[in-house]
Chain A
Amino acid sequence: MRTTVLIVDDHPSFRRLARRLFEEAGFTVVGEAGDGRSAVASVLALKPDLVLLDVMLPDGSGIELADRLPPSTAVLLVSSRSADDLAIGSRRFMRKDELTLDRLRAVAAGAGE
């Protein structure tokens, strides 16, 4: 069964390309959200396995949002900034320029195991 993903980012071009990248890597993208508020609604409605969550959202911090989501939902925080600029702590994080097919396929394989 393919891992379902919700993509949360305020840049439409990034969401569009990230959707194609995830789908090519073997994920099923179940939805997209452009801000934290609609992200919460989408998580509750779609119950994705993984949320790709931008750290800086127009209506707040992605880090704080990640802590509010149900524990059953895996969260991968992403940003164009590096982790030490963001006080990510122990949360799962990847720079946006590190998102590649190879890495995502590895993630997908790990999630499927």
Chain B
Amino acid sequence: MTPRARLAWFVLLVAGPAFVVFGELGFWLNGIAPRETFPLDLGVSSLAIASGLVLWRLRPENRTGLLLGVAGILWTIGGIRAYRNAWAFGVGQCFDGSQDLVLAHLLIAYPSGRLGHRSLRVLVTAGYGLFVVGVLETITMDLPRRVNAFAVWHAPALHGTLSTIGSVGAGMYATTGIAIIGRRWLRAGYSRRRVLGPVLLAALFFALAVAVDEVVQAIVGSEPGIVFFPPLVARLLIPVAFLFGLARSRLDRLVVGDLVLELDASGAGTMQAALARALHDPGLQVGYRLDDGDEFVDSEGEPLVLPVEDADHAITYVGRGDAQLAAIVHERALLEQPSLIEAVSAAVGLALDNERLHAQLRNQLQVLRASRARLVRTADSERRRLERDLHDGAQQRLLALGLALNMLRARVEDAESAQLLAEAEEELATAVSELRELARGIHPAILTDQGLAAAARTLASRSAVPVEVVVNGGRFPPAVETAGYYVIAEALANVMRYAHAGRARIEIREAAGLALIEVSDDGVGGADSRRGTGLAGLADRVGALDGRLVVESAAGTGTTVRAEIPCA
């Protein structure tokens, strides 16, 4: 705390209670019975000064505490009207109600304590203009100077006009305040409402009470003896709300201990939820920085693009030393509780580092998985291209050659030459046939053209064992269809080689975002996916698409090979 602030703190600490005593005891010193509002007056001013001092002590850079303390002191100055002294009356009369102007300033500037927008600065300045009106009212009062030392200009008509201006101005100021507070409440998120809620509600009540008070005074007049309590209660609620918010903020920090215990007890992936609970921000996000570079990922290792900070969201970076470990994206309102964020950040440091390592590992797994899927897709694409090249290139040339040989043979009359040409045609036909089988093995064209169901029927038609094909659903993504095709082809090959089956069945369907491709037989069973490379290779291919291959093959019960591949 700077020496200047320390001096101001001391003055307020001494002057505040002195004003309270001086002002409120003025009634007794002058033999006047305490007013009905005395307990509330005393409570409001004392509480406002005390809570203002506490807030100012905790957050000296924020003007909220200072303004609250000043409002409390002005309240007591207004009270010295009761002291039987013309100067005390004049001063008290001038300052009567001025505490409301400071309270309005405080609430409009809340929570930063600063009036950010120009329009708000104009509004508050205009509000302080009502103090000048109050002073002019005091000067123009129709009272002798022995009662009011400031009554230098007896002008009852002007006094009445000034009273009306004061009342109407106060009413308008209060109404504008209601609109500002209401708008701020509506625009606030959960966390902001939680932080600002008590003060904003008290402010709303205060503004409503003042507005209604002005209307009542306009109707029935401000006769002595008529006391409208709601504004007094509302003024009392404002410091109470500030203290409540302060106490809750302290309690929130106590929760940090529970947070550490919770993180110790729970596994990885719970950091975000725990922080959201501790900081009362359901929309909170945690991004973990990867070791290599400036990229962030979420707890699942998914890349996370941090949002741009705006009026609603802010980012707090948490680190160790110079190293940034994570970024917490939270509601901007939490910046009003920097000590809470600091406490939480410090408490979760180790767990955060641990969580970050988990997230990094998951990210690496995802990168690996994506890389594997990419490899499979690339390989499939290369196979399709190769098959197409064979079909369009060598195969077409051989076919053209066959047509030419066929026509040539029809022209040759020499029997020996015709025989040689016939042999050449036969060799060529064999070459074309082998090339066709090779191309089909590289990639079945029917899969690309007609889809998995048609390709499965073709495989079934070539099988030596009767195969029933049941299809329920449309086409799947190309990578899924290709994997499914190889599952069916390998499973049917196994049926023919090992199963000694009487029949087999292919079922293709979609359920819950999964492509289910199943080949079952009524053979001897006993297949082991760990033996040989056929089923293991298929499991790898299916796994590359985030799917899984299930082989059920108890001895004597047949074999079922089922691929479950995400296709949504």
Contact = CB atoms under 8 A, between A and B. Distances in A.
Interface of A: 11, 13-14, 17-18, 20-21, 24, 56, 61, 80-82, 84-87, 96-97, 99-101
Given A24-B407, A85-B440, A87-B450, A80 B400 contact: no
Nearest to B432: A97
A97 B446 contact: no
Given A11-B400, A97-B398, 17 more contacts: A11-B396, A14-B399, A17-B403, A24-B407, A80-B396, A80-B399, A81-B436, A84-B461, A85-B440, A86-B446, A86-B449, A87-B449, A97-B402, A97-B428, A97-B433, A100-B406, A101-B410
Interface in B397-440: 397-400, 402-404, 406-407, 410, 428-429, 432-433, 436, 439-440
A56 B388 CA distance: 11
Nearest to B395: A80
Contact of A18 (B403, B440, B461, B462): B403
Interface of B: 391-392, 395-400, 402-404, 406-407, 410, 428-429, 432-433, 436, 439-440, 444-446, 449-450, 454, 457-458, 461-462
A56 B395 CA distance: 14
Nearest to B450: A87
Contacts of A13: 396-397, 400
A80 B402 CA distance: 12
A84 B406 contact: no
Given A21-B403, A24-B410, A97-B399, A81 B454 contact: no
A-B complex: 5 closest residue pairs judged by Cβ atoms: A17-B403, A87-B454, A13-B400, A87-B450, A96-B399
A29 B459 CA distance: 37
Contacts of A101: 406-407, 410
A87 B458 contact: yes
Nearest to B435: A80
B410 to A, nearest CB: 5
B159 to A, nearest CB: 95
B391 A11 contact: no
A12 to B, nearest CB: 10
Contacts of A18: 403
B391 A80 contact: yes
B462 A84 contact: yes
Contacts of B450: 86-87
A87 B446 contact: yes
Contacts of B457: 87
Residue with the greatest number of chain B CB neighbours at <10 A, chosen from A11, A82, A85, A99? A85
Contacts of B407: 17, 20-21, 24, 101
Contacts of A11: 392, 396, 400
A45 to B, nearest CB: 26
Residue from the set B399, B439, B445, B450 with the largest chain A CB neighbour count within 10 Å: B399
Given A61-B449, A80-B396, A86-B445, A99 B440 contact: no
Contact of B406 (A21, A81, A82, A86): A21
A21 B406 CA distance: 9
Contacts of A56: 391, 445, 449
Contacts of B402: 96-97
B400 A14 contact: yes
Contacts of B410: 24, 101
Contacts of B461: 84
Given A11-B392, A80-B391, A101-B406, A17 B400 contact: yes
Contacts of B449: 56, 61, 86-87
20 contacts: A11-B400, A13-B397, A17-B403, A17-B407, A20-B407, A21-B407, A24-B407, A24-B410, A80-B391, A80-B399, A81-B391, A81-B440, A86-B445, A86-B446, A86-B449, A86-B450, A87-B446, A87-B457, A96-B402, A101-B407
Nearest to B397: A13
Contacts of B395: 80
A101 B406 CA distance: 7
Nearest to A85: B446
B520 to A, nearest CB: 23
Contacts of A61: 449
Nearest to B399: A96
A10 B462 CA distance: 29
B75 to A, nearest CB: 87
A75 to B, nearest CB: 18
Nearest to B437: A82
A50 to B, nearest CB: 17
A85 B445 contact: yes
Contacts of B458: 84-85, 87
Contacts of B397: 13
A46 B400 CA distance: 26
B409 to A, nearest CB: 8
Nearest to B439: A81
A67 to B, nearest CB: 14
A81 B400 contact: no
Contacts of A84: 458, 461-462
A103 to B, nearest CB: 10
A24 B407 CA distance: 8
A82 B400 contact: no
Contacts of B406: 21, 99-101
A21 B411 CA distance: 12
Contacts of A80: 391, 395-396, 399, 432, 436
Contacts of B462: 84
Contacts of B396: 11, 13-14, 80
Nearest to A84: B458
Most A CB contacts (10 A, CB to CB) among B397, B406, B436 go to B406
Nearest to A103: B406
A65 B123 CA distance: 77
Nearest to B396: A11
A97 B446 CA distance: 19
A7 B410 CA distance: 22
Q: Which of B403, B428, B436, B449 has the most CB of A within 10 A?
A: B403
